[in-house]
């Protein structure tokens, strides 16, 4: 910052500098309060009264039960489905939908499962594979069945992080994929 002025003006320049710093600080506080009003009021609560919090979000390629899931906008910057792990559920979210996240949640229909629906976690043979066994809800006559959601993560460390979070939340053992074996 280049300052110019007369030596005779004394501390007038210092008082102007202090005023500018105070104005800048007041403007930053006003902007933070405006952001809190816009985004801080979006608190989601559930039956037990505790808010749902996201613990991790990962780009994945997904085969949910019998259907391959793809992002709606394949030409976007990140044309992938996101696996979102919260303290209450697993969700598959399409972040490429128009209006995400303010007007549209991106939640893929029938791709949200409570942690109580998670039956088994299987670490795939490949470093990026994860298989989730999900209890599918059916009628009482049919009984509930178990389906598999296959996820291929973009990074092996993301898969390991997701396994750690799911294991801590669900406390089910993490199994190894015994069907795939390395050929000699």
Name the pLDDT band for 98 (thresholds 50, 70, 90): confident
Cα→Cα distances 67→63, 121, 135, 148, Å? 6, 19, 16, 11
Q: 29-53, pLDDT tens digit by residue?
A: 777 777 666 555 545 555 566 788 8
Above 90 in pLDDT, residue 159? yes
Quick check: helix, strand or coil at residue 154?
coil
Quick check: helix, strand or coil at residue 143?
coil
**pTM of the predicted protein model:** 0.66
Average pLDDT, the chain: 80
Q: Give the other-Cβ count within 10 Å of 52's Cβ.
A: 13
pLDDT of residue 140: 46
């Amino acid at each position: 910052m280049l300052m110019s002025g007369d030596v005779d003006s004394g501390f007038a320049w210092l008082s102007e500098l202090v005023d500018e710093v105070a104005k800048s600080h007041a403007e930053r506080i006003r902007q933070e309060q405006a952001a809190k009003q816009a985004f801080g009021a979006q608190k989601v609560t559930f039956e037990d009264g505790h808010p749902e919090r996201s613990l991790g979000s990962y780009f994945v390629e997904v085969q949910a039960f019998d259907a391959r899931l793809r992002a709606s906008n394949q030409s976007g910057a990140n044309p992938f489905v996101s696996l979102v792990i919260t303290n209450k559920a697993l969700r598959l979210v399409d972040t490429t939908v128009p209006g995400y996240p303010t007007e549209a949640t991106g939640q893929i229909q029938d791709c949200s499962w409570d942690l109580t629906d998670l039956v088994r976690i299987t670490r795939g043979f490949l470093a990026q594979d994860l298989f989730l066994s999900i209890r599918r809800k059916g009628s009482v006559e049919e009984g509930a069945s178990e389906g598999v959601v296959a996820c291929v993560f973009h990074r092996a460390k993301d898969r390991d992080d997701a396994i750690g979070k799911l294991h801590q939340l669900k406390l089910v053992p993490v199994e190894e994929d015994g069907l795939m074996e390395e050929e000699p």
